[in-house]
């Protein structure tokens, strides 16, 4: 399900936007009850990304935002579990591509287009039954 959206140009690097996307989440993860002196990356809440998010600088941006980035690295296409991560990300794109106005991007004003994307995400949540 789409929980956060950042609108960029078509030629923007996905990995550069990782911190902005994680900061745009509507529902933030709960703060830990006590902070360990040397936190383990495995204790952080995880965020899934596709192959564009699978490099070390992007993982560092995600860790700075308080998340563990789960994305396949280059050359990891044959490892078990990688298809599930890609599948989850692609399903998120497919949910939004059901709406023609978003797919074709008829609005050139960023704030208006962001509103349409957020409205489509709300409709996706309602259709999935999260608010029943």
Provide the greatest CA pair distance for the chain.
49
What is the tens place of the pLDDT at every residue in 1-22?
A: 667 788 888 788 877 888 888 8
What is the tens place of the pLDDT at every residue in 28-65?
A: 667 767 666 766 777 778 887 777 788 888 888 888 88
Q: Is the pTM of the predicted complex or chain greater than 0.85?
A: no
pLDDT at 21: 82
pLDDT at 1: 67
Contact 25, 50 (CB under 8 A): no
DSSP bridge pairs for 68: 46
Kindly state the helix (H) or strand (E) to which residue 68 belongs, with its residue range. Answer: strand 68-70
- CA pair distance 84, 74, nearest whole angstrom: 16
pLDDT at 112: 92
- Angle in degrees, CA 7, 26, 36, rounded to 5: 115
- To the nearest 10°, report the CA torsion of 12, 14, 15, 16: 30
Q: What is the mean pLDDT of residues 95-106?
A: 86
pLDDT at 43: 75
Report residue 94's pLDDT band, with 50, 70 and 90 as the boundaries: confident
**Which is nearest to 61 in space by CA: 22, 4, 31, 3?**
22
């Amino acid at each position: 399900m789409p929980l956060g959206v950042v609108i960029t140009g078509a030629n923007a690097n996905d990995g550069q936007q990782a911190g902005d996307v994680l900061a745009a989440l509507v529902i933030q993860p709960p703060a830990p009850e006590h902070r360990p002196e040397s936190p383990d990356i495995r204790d952080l809440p995880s965020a899934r990304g596709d192959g564009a998010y699978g490099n070390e600088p992007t993982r560092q941006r995600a860790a700075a935002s308080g998340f563990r980035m789960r994305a396949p690295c280059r050359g990891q296409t044959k490892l078990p579990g990688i298809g599930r991560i890609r599948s989850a990300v692609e399903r998120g794109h497919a949910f939004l591509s059901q709406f023609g106005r978003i797919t074709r991007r008829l609005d050139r004003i960023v704030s208006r287009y962001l509103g349409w994307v957020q409205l489509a995400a709300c409709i996706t949540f309602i259709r999935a039954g999260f608010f029943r």
